[in-house]
A and B are shown apart, each in its own frame.
Chain A
């Protein structure tokens, strides 16, 4: 009898579609303009690639784009350094292709194996010349803990030592840091109760991983956790003793594409490029059968049948995502009344109408509907994940909106949740209060929309919202959120000036600086921070507004006018005689081009940054009428 092949286990990119015409598309690469070539490469990377196809694609990427493509095509180029105690060269192609899959161009540096300390210490090393934007540490267990019979190591000292390396690279490069969990490659010596054997190396690996997690949490480092994947595929698929003995390669070649993807999703998350919204089809996705044909009693959902329970499990998974800040939407080919019926009447439905921030059911094409969902939610289509059981719908969306992630749901609904989860679309780094609040905020918005639809006039609607603007100057507590907003707001942002933690902190308590963080609360709930303003007062009595940004979700509610009233009041208190405001155009902030004239500012001509400058004398400036009350917190 033939012995089983290691290759029978395979760590595949299970959520990506196998591509029948991959070879044909690969052959055509490079025969188009730069922009189309890059898009084609990204498209090819978004297929279920094995290690060989990954290698091929990476070589071709290197030939076609030896340097990063022109700006606008992809994200900011990444420079990832891999500092490893064993051989990592065979993983580089997968790391670059993982980045490519997320529309990122990555340059990857790998030190000589085991030389990471010298590379960090020596300012003339390749690492220092490379100037990484991210560093991945990957250590093998024997390197840290010694051979099976080595003396018991001091795990705390080992973890402290690794944490020190993190600090060193961050101090040197200001880079982000990823720490790979240690793979438990030692053979078992004691069995299921391995932990009862003093100095069992395989047990020590588990303990060390726990210590590393604690230190990573405390130190703002992100873990690359391989254990769940090793559990999925089997250690024999991830680690082959033959490859270790022959080449000191710890991660198996066939697991490399998955490894690369796991790192790339962390890198994308660090850049704020994780997906934000899961868009769900209904028929045969959330329940079995077709609601329009089978009716409420005919659809398969709930206890009693494995298939009905499978759909329940998927709904539960989707609902769990809302609890951590992921938005849910529905995109279904159905009559609205039919589509809503199970949400309103089916006793076994887990998801309720309230869980869905945007509900679209009509007979138009899904690509168009997805665009409209993104617009209504005020996010990009590149933040959408679209889950649909129908391969034809999936294909149409992939063709028309390649930036939308479309997991290749398997035929069995029992595997839907695992498929979406394995895609890692919603890779999280840390949970913010905003994340926990997000689902509720969208539900509140829904109630506002309902009220708006029922209100006969806009004034009556605004009055009935009972809006309160609660504001306070910058403070330490709010600083992280303030910096996050300043650095990510693109649309309602007059100057798009970015800021560092240090610079924002320096404004706190500066008597010449105007700093405002503004929340909007109404009868349906707290909208969170919806505006940030900074300004600087000079000796002539001019208060120049450096930053004025607002959240798009409160537009049309007089928040701009109320914010101006607040700025005027605070500027007067500081002794200013005039407000100066600049508009600096970018590709994304066209919506605020007329912001200052709309608020009654007079033109002062062009500014040095290609935009316009505006003034508002405070002498005689009257407060704009609004239905918003101002309260200092």
Chain B
């Protein structure tokens, strides 16, 4: 899965979580850009991302997720580890 595919899948996921089909994500999107992406929902996003991509993040890795690009990088890394 390349970064573009991950971005599209993440976009779908965000639209479902927030029931908002107008959400458009880019790698630069941060919590401030998405209505409802607060610290509480951040955990929900992490959990649902793990489920959608079939990966599991470490506690320390979650700390570093500041924008959508970080999510994509981490997902990409996890998927590679899984494939190996």
Contact = CB atoms under 8 A, between A and B. Distances in A.
A477 interface: no
Contacts of B44: 51, 55, 90, 253
Nearest to A60: B19
B47 A56 contact: no
Nearest to A62: B19
Interface stretch (A67-75, A214-222, A243-251): A243-251
A253 B47 contact: yes
B31 to A, nearest CB: 15
Interface stretch (A2-10, A123-131, A415-423): A2-10
Please tell me the size bucket of the interface on A: 20 to 34
Contacts of B39: 247
Interface stretch (B1-9, B22-30, B49-57, B66-74): B49-57
A247 B56 contact: no
Contacts of B33: none
Nearest to B15: A56
Given A56-B16, A63-B19, A254 B47 contact: yes
Nearest to B50: A7
A89 interface: yes
Interface residues of B, number: 21
Contacts of B64: none
B34 interface: no
Given A51-B48, A246-B43, A247-B43, A5 B56 contact: yes
Given A55-B17, A60-B19, A253-B44, A242 B59 contact: yes
Given A90-B40, A246-B62, A59 B47 contact: no
A172 interface: no
A89 B55 CA distance: 24
Contacts of A379: none
B49 to A, nearest CB: 10
Contacts of A3: 56
Contact of A5 (B16, B19, B54): B54
Contact of B16 (A52, A63, A249): A52
Nearest to B83: A2
14 contacts: A7-B50, A7-B51, A50-B51, A55-B17, A56-B16, A56-B17, A56-B19, A60-B19, A63-B19, A90-B40, A242-B59, A242-B62, A247-B39, A253-B48
Interface of B: 13, 16-19, 39-40, 43-44, 47-48, 50-51, 54-56, 58-59, 62, 81-82
